[in-house]
């Protein structure tokens, strides 16, 4: 038998499944640099276990932020603080619109947390827990540099700064208007001590120059020719920023900014998918966030109206998908976790469709609410000049003996199905045992897998056990015609 070329890989869906239709769902490639049986394998995206104890009254989750081992979140119209046991305390009521909430703090010197929600800016005194509204309107996103809290008003394409270490005081003269380009600012983020502001065609970078009247100044070398297509996809990521962008011609890509020049990180196949989302239902509701875990750094990009989530792994420079399996429709929908904070030694995320906060877990193998977490790998095409090929045997090399004592994980299964028309239609799934707990010698094999001229295989697994897939082998016999 021969190894299936490209079995360990990411997602790449082109304009036609007959061209390329690889998918990697709720798994991602991990390289084995030395000393291993294989050089790479598919490993599972984390499962989700509940962190909060049910004291959050509203939904959905609209943002989460950690500072000095204090955890804050906005669900619906309520601003909460959660302790290490997941108990939520109501800290105040906020305005609401279709956008997420944003957070930042002016540190130990100011001891204040700023929140924007529904176009209003709020400040929580972290010493007294007094919650006030110093900016009653025109505050869509916030940040902080050198003790100055920053508020972006997308309606007027301006940003304001507070007094140093004083989020209650906002001098009306401490404001900057965009003048370097005609496209209004629609998103901002602070990274590496500098302020990045992006319109729909271009972006610019500002810094604290210590000027006497208004302390901030624009970097002459910090203007770039890439805009943003959805303002709340802008996220700090891997030492820089990532976002769903577009240029002056409307060409859409996902960008990474490390320094002063954006670099596209999306593939042509993903660019085509994103364009199809925009043509169909629009992408203005797209959301982006990031996290790092187990040696990987991820940028998570969700398109709610299109029900899809694409994830970029900076460690391997590959994309995969995070999706929730809907058992009622027998199809995937968008990943529900949204936004991320690391606090109390846990990676915590909001549920974008309920009132729960979840934590990532390497030993939990279920999705939100304990729902099925279905993982899948759709292989590259197997063809030989369009001649008929026969497949007597397929074998998966995976971590075996992973069963547990609770059904259905006590006798876990993995399934194989295949398409003979390049991924346009599919046959029935055939399941095989992965191995009950401790049965490490289990072989995972499918015999008599038929014939085809353009074969695509797909593996999937939904039982609540570990899923680590090393290689797949296929016995293929070529026909004459």
Which region holds residue 37: left if phi is over 0, alpha if psi is between -120 and 50, else beta? alpha
Residue 34: per-residue pLDDT: 86
pLDDT tens figures, 259-306: 999 999 999 999 999 999 999 999 999 999 999 999 999 999 999 999
pLDDT tens figures, 107-165: 999 999 999 999 999 999 999 999 999 999 999 999 999 999 999 999 999 999 999 99
Confidence of residue 481 (pLDDT cuts 50, 70, 90): low
| Cis previous bond, 60, omega within 30 | yes
Average pLDDT over all residues of the chain: 96
* C-beta separation of 50 from 358 below 8 A: yes
Which region holds residue 166: left if phi is over 0, alpha if psi is between -120 and 50, else beta? beta
Which listed CATH number (3.40.50, 1.10.10, 2.40.160, 2.60.120) goes with 2-45+376-478? 2.60.120
Q: Does the pLDDT of residue 237 top 80, yes or no?
A: yes
Pairing outcome for strands 235-237 and 240-246: antiparallel
Residues forming a β-bridge with 340: 349
pLDDT tens figures, 181-207: 999 999 999 999 999 999 999 999 999
CA atoms of 292 and 259, how far apart (whole Å)? 20
Percent of the chain with pLDDT over 70: 99
Residue 318: per-residue pLDDT: 98
pLDDT tens figures, 447-478: 999 999 999 999 999 999 999 999 999 998 88
CA atoms of 335 and 301, how far apart (whole Å)? 10
CA atoms of 299 and 371, how far apart (whole Å)? 24
Q: Does the pLDDT of residue 480 top 70, yes or no?
A: no
Q: Which two tokens stand for residue 10?
A: 């990411």
Which listed CATH number (3.40.50.620, 3.30.70.660, 2.130.10.10, 3.20.20.80) goes with 47-362? 2.130.10.10
CA atoms of 122 and 294, how far apart (whole Å)? 35
pLDDT tens figures, 335-354: 999 999 999 999 999 999 99
* Residue bearing tokens 């695509």: 456
- Give me the residue spans of the domains in the chain: 2-45+376-478, 47-362
Q: Does the pLDDT of residue 479 top 80, yes or no?
A: no
Lowest mean pLDDT among 7-11, 68-72, 367-371, 406-410: 406-410
* C-beta separation of 311 from 321 below 8 A: yes
Q: Does the pLDDT of residue 85 top 70, yes or no?
A: yes
What mean pLDDT is predicted for residues 77-99?
Answer: 98
């Amino acid at each position: 038998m021969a190894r299936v070329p490209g079995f360990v890989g990411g997602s790449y869906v082109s304009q036609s499944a007959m061209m390329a239709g690889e998918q990697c769902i709720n798994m991602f490639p991990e390289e084995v640099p030395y000393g291993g049986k294989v050089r790479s394998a598919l490993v599972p995206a984390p499962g989700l276990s509940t962190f909060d104890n049910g004291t959050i009254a509203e939904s959905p989750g609209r943002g989460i932020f950690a500072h000095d081992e204090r955890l804050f979140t906005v669900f619906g119209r309520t601003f909460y603080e959660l302790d290490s046991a997941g108990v939520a305390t109501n800290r105040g009521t906020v305005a609401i619109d279709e956008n997420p909430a944003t957070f930042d703090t002016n540190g130990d010197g100011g001891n204040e947390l700023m929140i924007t929600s529904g176009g209003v800016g709020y400040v929580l005194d972290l010493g007294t827990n007094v919650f006030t509204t110093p900016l009653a309107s025109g505050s869509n996103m916030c940040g902080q540099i050198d003790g100055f809290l920053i508020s972006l008003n997308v309606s007027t394409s301006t940003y304001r700064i507070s007094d140093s270490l004083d989020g209650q005081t906002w001098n009306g003269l401490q404001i900057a208007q965009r003048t370097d380009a005609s496209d209004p600012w629609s998103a901002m983020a602070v990274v590496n001590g500098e302020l990045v502001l992006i319109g729909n065609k271009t972006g610019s970078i500002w810094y604290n120059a210590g000027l006497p009247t208004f302390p901030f100044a624009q970097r002459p070398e910090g203007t770039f020719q890439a805009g943003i297509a959805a303002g709340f996809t802008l996220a700090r990521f891997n030492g820089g920023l990532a976002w769903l962008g577009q240029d002056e011609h409307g060409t859409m890509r996902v960008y990474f900014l490390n320094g002063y020049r954006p670099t596209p990180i999306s593939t042509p196949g993903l660019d085509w998918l994103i364009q199809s989302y925009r043509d169909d239902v629009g992408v203005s509701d797209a959301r982006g966030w990031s996290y790092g875990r187990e040696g990987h750094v991820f940028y998570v990009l969700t398109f709610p109206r299109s029900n899809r989530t694409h994830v970029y792994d900076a460690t391997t420079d590959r994309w995969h998908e995070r999706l929730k399996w809907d058992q009622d429709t027998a199809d995937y929908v968008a990943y529900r976790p949204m936004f991320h904070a690391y606090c109390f030694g846990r990676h915590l995320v909001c549920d974008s469709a309920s009132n729960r906060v979840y934590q990532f877990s390497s030993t939990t193998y279920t999705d939100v609410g304990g729902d099925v977490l279905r993982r899948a790998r759709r292989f590259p095409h197997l063809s030989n000049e369009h001649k008929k090929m026969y497949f007597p045997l397929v074998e998966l090399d995976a971590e075996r003996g992973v069963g547990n004592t609770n059904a259905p994980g006590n006798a876990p299964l993995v399934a194989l199905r295949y398409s003979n028309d390049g991924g346009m239609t599919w046959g029935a799934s055939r399941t095989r045992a992965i191995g009950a707990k401790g049965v490490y010698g289990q072989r995972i094999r499918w015999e008599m897998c038929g014939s085809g001229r353009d074969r695509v295989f797909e593996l999937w697994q939904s039982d609540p056990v570990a899923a680590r897939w090393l290689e797949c082998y296929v016995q293929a016999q070529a026909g004459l015609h």
